[in-house]
Amino acid sequence: MSADIGGRECLCYWLGHVRLSRIIILVSVILFLVPLITHYYLSSVESGVSSNIHDVHSHLDLSEDYSLLKAQELRTRVEELIRIKGSVSSELRDMESKRQKLQLELTSYTRHIEQLKQELLHQQTELNRLKISVEQAQVAQREALQQNTPELALPLRLTANVLPDTLKPISIKSSENCRMHSCFDHSRCSLTSAFPVYLYDPDMYPVMNNGWDVDGFIKTTLKQTLGYNPHLTHDPKEACIFLVLVGEALADSKEINSRPLDLNALKKLPYWGGDGRNHVLINLARRDLSVGLGDVFHSMDTGRAILVQSTFSYSLFRPKFDLIVSPVLGPPGGDVWQDCVSMLPARRKYLLSFQGEMKNHSAKINSNLTPYFGDDELIIQKLATPSIESVKELDMFIVEHLREMARGTTSDKFLFEFECVPANEEVQGGGGNDWALCGTDSSRKAVLKESTFALILVPGNPDLISTTLLQARIYEALRSGAIPVILGGDKVELSYSEVIAWRRVCIFLPRARVTELHFLLRSFPDTDLLSFRRQGRFIWERYLSSVQNTVDTIVAVLRDRLGIPPKPVDDIPAISVFNSTFKPLQTDVLTGEAEPEENLGPLEPPYASPAFRRNYSLLLTQGHELWNLWGDPFRLYPQLPFDTLLPSDAKFLGSGMGFRPIGKGAGGAGKEFCEALGGNNPREQFTVVILTYEREQVLINSLSRLHGLPYLNKVVVIWNSPKPPLEDLRWPDIGVPIHVVKATRNSLNNRFLPLDIVETEAVLSVDDDAHLRHDEIMFGFRVWREHRDRIVGFPGRFHAWDLNYQNSWLYNSNYSCELSMVLTGAAFIHKYYMYLYWYWLPQAIRDKVDEYMNCEDIAMNFLVSHVTRKPPVKVTSRWTFRCPGCPVSLSEDETHFQERHRCINFFTQVFGYTPLLNTQYRADSILFKTRIPHDKQKCFKFI
């Protein structure tokens, strides 16, 4: 028994000092062997076989003879071993539980270490950003201290404050030689005066003789349209110029032989000043297009007054002083696109057309003009008869050659009518050897819209530099998209020629080149035909189409002569959705997703883009573009997307104010790139404009995601809902001001309101459910800085030709290798285009947007492409935006795409063509997918 106890103690001692793995192996062996041995032993006992007892003894390594043991004792031994196994298993379970606990603690510590590493990285990034911000602030401070030129802004007005002095009248000879330097009083027109214009009320100050009166339509509409002009003043003391309306003069009866203009009444005007300086006499033609009434100032002493009309002779016209204008044949104002026809196709039914008649009115003309010109003028006219006859012979040759051209065998078709059919003595105009108009306005328009070119024959009278009929023919041709071909154009002057580049609109040919006319017209490719046609419609719509445009253009040309900038464009006041006593709740808890750790630029205080810095130099350096290309000469804008750029070395040689070159000019990779904006323009920021409608939580999430965004100036939320925000709505503190602007009504056009609180050139227009990462926004901003005149954004779309009907466009959002639009739900645009959207774009387009509650982004793409003739720029690979949990948007409506199809085709009708252009590339970061050394960083980690 003692040996048995000693064996157990040895076994326990051995089990306590062996490794866990050995114990597990031993127990496994025991658990495997014991059942086998027990089964074998019991079988031996029952069978009485004793030959295996010795083997069993040897396997169990027991000192006693099992043959002497009973079955009960064996069971006890087995139970003891089972108990030992249970005890060992329990200890193993306890040890495994401790191991798992230690493993959980180890995982928790590891996770905590990773969090500390991320926090360390975040703090290091913030520290680097703060260092960059401090450095940028120090640079800005040094610039402010070193600045030696004042910051330009809108100037204070400096106007005259006394009435014009009365001076002696000048001689007729001096009047004939008047120029701006000799007959204009510049002292009343300071550069900062804003060019105040005073209008003599034609009802209070009539200047017409008895039996004559100014056309009622012109009188009424001129007073009305001038009332909309920002330069109008009712104080004659501060006026720079004084407008006097003298026509269109209409006689009460045909028997009246007196002149229309009463010189005595004219010179008795209260501010005439004795010599009429700074007075502008306006004679606008509308119904009577004849030479006689077109020139009411002939042989009249008007002193130093500037004459404005459509008909001038060489002897009367004073270049750069008097002004040739087009007759007012259009409506008072408003949209005029309905009067135009499509610019396409480039080549129309007739290559060239002409309708007109020159009647022999010599006797009638002489008798009619006797009251106007006097006996001396008649003698001069008779002496000039031989030269007029020679001109008539040339006219006859030209007419005959044109008829032969029409009878030719070429495939080109011509329409020439040199006699009005049916014959009508009441043809419009005539006299002065000028070609009268045939038919009605609608019949002439029907011919012109089928003509590629419109032939215009200049008056046969060599002394006429312009006639009302000539200007009327140009008006009608441009309206219908027919390119004017002026035969004899080397001897005439067109309206507003000192500012309008007519050679981009009309073809001027000497009469001697009539034999080369057909060859010349055949040489024009389609691109040039459409360029002429597009420019012609641009000039017609802006300067000729209505009374409003005519009046504004007259004022603008006179102001342009003096180098005075126009008045600034009107910003729309931003009215807060909150009243003055309510203070919205704020929260520091940001609900947006965490941004990847990446230093994208410094955090700066709000910095508005410098405004009105080119008030006086713009007209000198880019005056041609203002009048003929992308500009608007009627208003002064804070900035333009077309401002000229400095040479690269200028920023280091005296003109570095505001510039932040990469690596201070040395360049660099990602590290240096994130520290400065670089590029070709001075530093600037951008404004985020968000349009929202009753989706408060979606809006709050979007605002939260803007926290910590570099170069962000402010956020403007356009609240389109009639219901104010909830009073307990908590607005996130994102480090920049958030302005919530109340919209007057629910309209998608409100996305492009030119609000006064938007103080940056760059505007990021985003939907409230658009989710953009900070690096995507920053990359888009940097790309926009290099393409300021274009839309730069993320979701791309394109217009596709309808192959089923072959006459319309379809809106397409499928994945494509070619696009023509970038949706303004996530795009950068220049604020200049927001002004154009509201003040220049036809009202019909904004009405269509309100009708469909759709298509404002298509309208903006049309506008920008029309102005620039460039496609938009797409950045990054984003094609669509998903907003999990957001309410259903308008774009998911079944009719959404159908409406957008119709929008594209309607906008094409309004513009006269489809200005959208295709592009086949997108912009990515320069070092995107470029292998760089390990010690360098890419410009953006994920772009």
State the DSSP code for 232: B
pLDDT band at 127 (very low <50, low <70, confident <90, very high): confident
pLDDT attached to residue 374? 40
pLDDT above 70 coverage of the chain, percent: 85
Q: What is the pLDDT of residues 193-224, one digit of tens each?
A: 999 999 999 999 999 999 899 999 999 999 99
Residue 360 has pLDDT above 70, yes or no: no
Determine the Cα–Cα distance for residues 671 and 932; give it in Å rounded to an integer: 13
Rounded average pLDDT over 906-916: 97
Residue 65 has pLDDT above 60, yes or no: no
pLDDT attached to residue 148? 58
pLDDT attached to residue 16? 56
In terms of Cα–Cα distance, which of 939, 677, 633, 923 is closest to 791?
923
Residue owning tokens 């739900």? 825
Q: Which residues contact 655 (CB under 8 A, 6 or more apart)?
A: 646
Rounded average pLDDT over 894-904: 92
More confident position, 424 or 283: 283
Determine the Cα–Cα distance for residues 671 and 49; give it in Å rounded to an integer: 91
Q: What count of Cα atoms within 13 Å lies in the side-chain half-sphere of residue 258?
A: 15
Helix (H) / strand (E) containing 526: helix 526-539
Rounded average pLDDT over 19-34: 69
Residue 368 has pLDDT above 80, yes or no: no
CA-based angle 110:114:120, to the nearest 5? 140
Residue 425 has pLDDT above 50, yes or no: no
Q: What is the pLDDT of residues 309-330, one digit of tens each?
A: 999 999 999 999 999 999 999 9
pLDDT attached to residue 418? 93
pTM of this prediction?
0.83
Q: What is the pLDDT of residues 801-856, one digit of tens each?
A: 999 988 999 999 999 999 999 999 999 999 999 999 999 999 999 999 999 999 99
Helix (H) / strand (E) containing 406: helix 385-406
pLDDT attached to residue 69? 58
857 tagged catalytic? yes
pLDDT attached to residue 576? 95
Can you say whether the dihedral through the CA atoms of 779, 780, 781, 782 is positive or negative? positive
Determine the Cα–Cα distance for residues 685 and 31; give it in Å rounded to an integer: 79
- The residue type at 173: K
Residue 369 has pLDDT above 50, yes or no: no
pLDDT attached to residue 581? 82
Rounded average pLDDT over 333-358: 95
Residue 677 has pLDDT above 80, yes or no: yes
SS3 state at 452 = strand
By mean pLDDT, which of 147-151, 274-278, 755-759 is the weakest?
147-151
pLDDT band at 299 (very low <50, low <70, confident <90, very high): confident
By mean pLDDT, which of 169-173, 280-284, 713-717, 883-887 is the weakest?
883-887
- Which span out of 64-68, 256-260, 277-281 was modeled with the highest average pLDDT? 277-281
DSSP string, 69-86: S-HHHHHHHHHHHHHHHH
Q: What count of Cα atoms within 13 Å lies in the side-chain half-sphere of residue 469?
A: 26
pLDDT band at 887 (very low <50, low <70, confident <90, very high): low
By mean pLDDT, which of 7-11, 388-392, 448-452 is the weakest?
7-11
pLDDT band at 10 (very low <50, low <70, confident <90, very high): low
The token pair at 630 is 């992308």
Average pLDDT, the chain: 86
pLDDT attached to residue 589? 63
Could you say which of 165, 775, 857, 893 is catalytic?
A: 857
Determine the Cα–Cα distance for residues 814 and 801; give it in Å rounded to an integer: 14
pLDDT band at 392 (very low <50, low <70, confident <90, very high): confident
Residue 529 has pLDDT above 60, yes or no: yes
Residue 745 has pLDDT above 90, yes or no: yes
Q: What is the pLDDT of residues 552-591, one digit of tens each?
A: 999 999 999 999 999 999 999 999 999 888 888 888 766 6
More confident position, 414 or 630: 414
Helix (H) / strand (E) containing 247: strand 241-247
Rounded average pLDDT over 100-114: 89
DSSP lists the bridge partners of residue 251 as 212
Rounded average pLDDT over 236-244: 97
pLDDT attached to residue 421? 80
pLDDT attached to residue 49? 40
State the DSSP code for 919: B
pLDDT attached to residue 30? 74
